[in-house]
Amino acid sequence: MRDLIASNKRRSIYLIASFTALLALVGLAVGVLLGNGLIGTMIALIFSGVMSFVSYWKADAIALRVSRAVPADPQEYQRLHNLVEGLCIAGGLPKPGIYIMHDVAPNAFATGRNPNHAAIAVTTGLLEKMNRVELEGVLAHELSHIRNYDILVSTLAVTLVGAIALIADMSIRMMWWNGGRVSRDNDRDNGSNPLAIIGFVLIIFAPIAARLMQASISRRRETLADLSACQMTRYPPGLIAALEKLKEDSTVTHAATTATAHLWIEQPLSGVGDAGKFSRLHSLFNTHPPLEERIALLREI
């Protein structure tokens, strides 16, 4: 388990570096298309640095706000607070912030930058549909993300994926309204510049690359969190039963977005499990391993 956690930390560094490099490349492409690659690169480097800094300190607040999460009242949600406190004692963790999302779909996520600055958010649908043992399994899964230091890279990805998509979208719109031309070298058409062509292709495919990196963040981490949760509760059937209920439920989590999809315990958006000719292509963008695989692995414990 310690080796897996250490591997997670190394992968986190690589993924953050990859996101930052991709953001800088997109900025370079924008600079080339707008007529000055050097200025575009400098702006992108500054922007990526600012985004990384803001993401580190504020991405958890952004994720909670985007998901419309509000603090869980200790009196109204006493059972939830008691379960989290008990699991934190068992796992040797400080109690995280606890939030509620008014959404009928059963789901939950953890966010933050480290165990001392973390939060757990659950939907009202999860509280209604899970019994005490199942809810404990879900909460242990989310606390495992905190203990395993998954939350930092997952939370940073929320803003970095959004930044890459935003820059790419704005650049394409600028190219569209400007007719693909810039005011440099007598309004020369960018289409004749090979670098501009490469830049345009990069801008188009950068959001796809960001989504693929986002998907790679959580697949292995979800499996590790499942195993850690069973270690924390010492009762695998509880999490197994919870995952089976999540598998049977087809409700879309309206509090989720594409930027936060990788944070949740279950793939929150529609389209998961699509069959047909493009099913393999769809699976590349799934942020979670199939629930069937997770359940089968837990049954082997």
Is 166 found in the same domain as 260?
Answer: no
Is 116 found in the same domain as 57?
Answer: no
Alpha helices in 178-259 (DSSP H): 194-233, 236-248
Q: Shortest CA distance to 152 belongs to which of 300, 280, 12?
A: 12
Q: Residue 96 gets which letter from DSSP?
A: P
Query: Full-prediction pTM beyond 0.85?
Result: no
pLDDT(290) > 60? yes
Is 181 found in the same domain as 233?
Answer: no
pLDDT in tens, 169-226: 666 666 555 554 444 444 444 444 565 566 666 666 766 766 666 666 666 788 889 9
- pLDDT value at residue 210: 66
Is 35 found in the same domain as 143?
Answer: no
Q: What is the residue range of 9's domain? A: 2-62+156-215
Query: In sequence order, what are the residues at sequence separation of 6 or more whose Cβ sits closer than 8 angstroms to the Cβ of residue 256?
Result: 67, 107, 264, 268, 269
CATH number of the domain where residue 228 is located: 3.30.2010.10
pLDDT(294) > 80? yes
**Using 50, 70 and 90 to split pLDDT, how confident is the model at 80?**
very high
pLDDT in tens, 213-272: 666 666 678 888 999 999 999 999 999 999 999 999 988 888 887 778 878 998 887 554
Domain end, chosen from 190, 215, 240, is at: 215
- pLDDT value at residue 137: 97
State what percent of residues in the chain have pLDDT above 70: 64
**Using 50, 70 and 90 to split pLDDT, how confident is the model at 22?**
confident
Is 229 found in the same domain as 146?
Answer: yes
Number of domains within the chain: 2
Using alpha carbons only, give the angle 39, 40, 41 rounded to the nearest 5 degrees: 90
- pLDDT value at residue 183: 45
The four Cα atoms 121, 208, 292, 103 give a dihedral, to 10 degrees, of: 30
Least-confidence region, from 39-43, 84-88, 110-114, 220-224: 39-43
Mean local confidence (pLDDT), 280-286: 52
Q: Residue 283: exposed, middle, or buried by beta-carbon count in 10 A (0-12, 13-18, 19+)?
A: middle
Catalytic residue positions, numbered: 142
Domain end, chosen from 215, 231, 263, is at: 215
Is 288 found in the same domain as 238?
Answer: yes
Q: How distant, in Å, are the alpha carbons of 83, 85, 98, 103 from that of 78?
A: 9, 11, 11, 19
Is 78 found in the same domain as 23?
Answer: no
Is 71 found in the same domain as 58?
Answer: no
- pLDDT value at residue 56: 73
